[in-house]
């Protein structure tokens, strides 16, 4: 079995557009005076404005159909990008979609509850259930009991699609990205991305081990008050992937690197650096970043370049994990 055959044998539905572009940010890079920034455009995956969850859902929805599911349940914050992409995938496949959204972000503006991803969830026909963070476990139990009582064959997707199956989407993404780097002559020594529910970083870390890459994969923590929690979760998920697909031979130990310096006041709370980064990308490159995920990753990359910490590199790669759909919910931040 060749390096890639094990992954090709895992069931996957083609739900997204790909390969997503790898494009240089000429004006932003010139403005900063550091290495060339290359953007992996996973905001262009499709599924109702796209994002990184589409890659995960290709494997998760294939798994759901293989198991005979006739109903999908998943979880997230009120402005969850994952929830929106799951709702779009379900609409595409004709499956009922229940979204259990928890009030975990202290953003006291009305737009947060009604605009952005919430509006799209409703347009996509998802059934929304909201609860406080404290009541989320009880709400989940009641919802599942109700659906099972109706005879539904429920497939549960964890928050962010971050399971061993979902993480495969980013192992596949890393293969795609490395092929693009080779074709386009781009140095792939540093790959930066926003890291929250851990599935994206897990898939990349697992792929780095399988492909035996020297690349540094740096997750910018945007969710966990203690960054060690994120590191542990990535390691645990990657270990489960290795157990699930032993035919994927690991050629190096898992290398989990997290930067916590750009977390700010908490998950879903935009920092001033993030707002500046979003404005720079919009006005210099015509690109939309969000204030929860990729905006904070971009802010981290800009700051590291300004500090001179990346002067030894010719190229850096930022994975744009999407999220622009939530901008309308954060109008008060601007």
Domain edge (last residue) among 137, 161, 185:
161
- State whether 305 and 213 are in the same domain: yes
Cβ neighbours around 325 below 10 Å, total: 24
2, 9, 29, 80: which one is catalytic? 80
- State whether 252 and 301 are in the same domain: yes
Q: Which CATH number does the domain housing residue 73 bear?
A: 3.40.50.1100
Range of the domain at 65: 53-161
Domain edge (last residue) among 130, 161, 192:
161
Q: How far is residue 170's CA from residue 210's CA, in Å, rounded to a whole number? A: 12
DSSP symbols for 177-210: HHHHHHHHT---SEEEEEESSSHHHHHHHHHHHH
Backbone angles phi, psi at 132, to 5 degrees: -70, 160
- State whether 267 and 296 are in the same domain: yes
Backbone angles phi, psi at 71, to 5 degrees: -160, 135
Q: Does a cis peptide bond (omega within 30 degrees of 0) precede residue 19?
A: yes
- State whether 109 and 66 are in the same domain: yes
- Residues 82-98: pLDDT tens digits? 999 999 999 999 999 99
- State whether 135 and 206 are in the same domain: no
Cβ neighbours around 114 below 10 Å, total: 13
Number of separate domains in the chain: 2
User: Can you name the residues that pair with 112 across neighbouring β-strands?
Assistant: none
Grade residue 107 by pLDDT with cuts at 50, 70 and 90.
very high
Are the C-beta atoms of residues 291 and 256 closer than 8 Å to each other? no
Share of the chain above pLDDT 70, in %: 99
CA dist list (Å): 255 to 78, 175, 215, 247, 293: 32, 17, 10, 20, 22
- Residues 46-80: pLDDT tens digits? 999 999 999 999 999 999 999 999 999 999 999 99
Grade residue 1 by pLDDT with cuts at 50, 70 and 90.
very low
Q: Is position 111 annotated as part of the catalytic site?
A: no
- State whether 26 and 99 are in the same domain: no
**Residue indicated by tokens 């990359």:** 301
Cβ neighbours around 227 below 10 Å, total: 17
- State whether 262 and 299 are in the same domain: yes
Cβ neighbours around 229 below 10 Å, total: 14
Q: Which one, of 245, 321, 207, lies nearest residue 11 by Cα?
A: 245
What is the CA angle 317-164-192, rounded to 5? 15
Is beta strand 154-157 parallel, antiparallel or unpaired with respect to 127-132?
unpaired
Q: What is the mean pLDDT of residues 150-176?
A: 97
Q: Locate 276 and state its tokens.
A: 């500046």
Q: What is the pLDDT of residue 70?
A: 97
User: Can you name the residues that pair with 26 across neighbouring β-strands?
Assistant: none
Share of the chain above pLDDT 90, in %: 99
On average, the pLDDT of the chain sits at 97
Domain edge (last residue) among 106, 131, 161:
161
Query: What length is written for the chain?
Result: 334
Q: What is the pLDDT of residue 3?
A: 55
């Amino acid at each position: 079995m060749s390096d890639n055959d094990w992954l090709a044998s895992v069931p996957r539905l083609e739900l997204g557009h790909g390969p997503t572009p790898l494009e240089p940010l000429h004006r932003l890079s010139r403005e900063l005076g550091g290495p060339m920034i290359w953007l992996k455009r996973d905001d262009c995956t499709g599924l109702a404005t796209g994002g990184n969850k589409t890659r995960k859902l290709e494997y998760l929805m294939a798994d759901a159909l293989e198991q005979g599911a006739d109903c999908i349940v998943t979880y997230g914050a009120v402005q969850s990008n994952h929830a929106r992409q799951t709702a779009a995938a379900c609409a595409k496949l004709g499956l009922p979609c229940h979204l259990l959204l928890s009030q975990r972000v202290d953003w006291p503006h009305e737009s947060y509850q009604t605009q952005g991803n919430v509006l799209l969830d409703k347009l996509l026909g998802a059934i929304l259930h909201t609860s406080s963070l404290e009541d989320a476990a009880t709400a989940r139990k009641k919802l599942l009991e109700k659906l099972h009582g109706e005879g539904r064959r429920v497939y549960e997707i964890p928050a962010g699609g971050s399971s061993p199956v979902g993480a495969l989407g980013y192992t596949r993404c890393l293969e795609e990205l490395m092929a693009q780097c080779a074709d386009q002559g781009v140095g792939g020594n540093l790959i930066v991305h926003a890291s929250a529910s851990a599935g994206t970083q897990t898939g990349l870390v697992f792929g780095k081990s399988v492909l035996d890459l020297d690349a540094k994969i740096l997750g910018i923590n945007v969710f966990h008050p203690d960054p060690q929690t994120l590191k542990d979760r990535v390691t645990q998920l990657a270990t489960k992937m290795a157990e699930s697909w032993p035919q994927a031979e690991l050629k190096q130990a898992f290398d989990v690197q997290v930067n916590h310096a750009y977390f700010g006041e908490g998950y879903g709370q935009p920092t001033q650096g993030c707002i500046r980064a979003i404005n720079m990308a919009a006005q210099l490159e015509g690109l939309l970043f969000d204030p929860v995920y990729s905006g904070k990753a971009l802010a981290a990359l800009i700051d590291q370049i300004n500090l001179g910490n990346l002067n030894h590199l010719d190229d850096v790669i930022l994975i744009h994990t999407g999220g622009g759909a939530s901008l309308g919910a954060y109008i008060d931040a601007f």
